[in-house]
């Protein structure tokens, strides 16, 4: 369920076009999308008051940091940023298959009464988002949870939709959409693998 969010550290440039890989967004395209999402978050919530960004590990957590930076530039006020690891809330934990390593959840503040913007890189089945919302609820009762994603590739298996979308990409189930990050954990490219 998180296969689409594979995190890669690259020191060299990812091949822009081969038989199997198509670049959907480049660095400046991603930047523009994130700036637009930042404006939309501010518009919807009328500023940064009580707004908290929580990124889903690992791609979403990096994007949450980027969104926080551009919100700080636009509004002049910083928003708190946290991250959530959903491993312990997954719905596909099976016996007799090695359990995945657990990542760090860093929510150093109460979510009580806050407007939480959940951030992920690729929205696919919606199961990751379900797990993340369950995790957030265990940290208090937020006033609301909104969802921001860089890519929505469709194929939802749960009644979940995003409030802020960088780009909608119709895909087939055989394809894979990946947000590639550089060594500084900044988004670098979005690729479609066939």
Partner 1 sequence: MAEFKHRNIIALRDLTREDIELLLATAENMREINSRDIKKVPTLRGKTIINLFYEASTRTRTSFEIAAKRLSADTVNISPSTSSATKGETLADTALNLLAMKPDIIVMRHAVSGAHYHLAKKVSCSVVNAGDGAHEHPSQGLLDLLTMKDWFGRLDGLKVAIVGDITHSRVARSDIQGLTKMGSHVYLAGPPTMMPPAVERLGSVTVCATMKEAIQDADVVMMLRIQQERQGKTLMPNAREYSRYFGLNPENLKLAKPGAMVMHPGPINRGVEMSSYVVDGSQSHILKQVENGVAVRMAMLYHVCGGELE
Q: DSSP readout, 78-145?
A: ---EEEE--GGG-S---TTSPPPPP---B--S--TT-EEEEEEEEESSSHHHHHHHHHHHTT---SEE
Backbone angle region of 155, left / alpha / beta, with phi > 0 → left and psi within -120 to 50 → alpha: left
Binding segment (CB under 8 A) for partner 1, from list 1-9, 47-55, 84-92, 165-173: 84-92
Shortest CB 98 distance to partner 1, Å: 4
Under the binding rule (CB under 8 A), the answer on residue 3 touching partner 1 is no
Which parts of 31-50 interact with partner 1 (CB under 8 A)?
none
Q: State which of residues 105, 128, 146, 176 lies at the interface with partner 1 (CB under 8 A).
A: 105
Beta bridge partners of 72: none
Under the binding rule (CB under 8 A), the answer on residue 140 touching partner 1 is yes
Under the binding rule (CB under 8 A), the answer on residue 94 touching partner 1 is yes
Q: State which of residues 3, 98, 159, 170 lies at the interface with partner 1 (CB under 8 A).
A: 98
């Amino acid at each position: 369920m998180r296969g689409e969010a594979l995190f890669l550290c690259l020191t060299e440039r990812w091949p822009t076009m081969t038989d199997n890989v198509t670049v959907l967004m480049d660095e400046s395209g991603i930047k523009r999308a994130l700036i637009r999402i930042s404006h939309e978050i501010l518009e919807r919530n009328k500023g940064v008051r009580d707004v908290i960004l929580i990124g889903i590990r690992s791609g979403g957590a990096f994007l949450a940091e980027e969104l926080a930076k551009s919100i700080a530039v636009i509004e002049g006020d910083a928003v708190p940023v946290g991250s959530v690891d959903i491993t312990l809330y997954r719905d596909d934990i099976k016996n007799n298959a090695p359990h995945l390593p657990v990542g760090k959840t860093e929510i150093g503040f109460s979510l009580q009464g806050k407007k939480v913007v959940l951030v992920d890189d690729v929205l696919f089945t919606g199961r990751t988002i379900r797990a993340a919302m369950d995790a957030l609820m265990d940290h208090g009762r937020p006033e609301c949870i909104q969802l921001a994603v860089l890519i929505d590739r469709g194929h939802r298996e749960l009644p979940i939709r995003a409030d802020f979308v960088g780009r909608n990409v119709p895909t087939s189930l055989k394809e894979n959409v990946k947000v590639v990050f550089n060594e500084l954990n900044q988004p670098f490219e979005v690729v479609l693998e066939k």
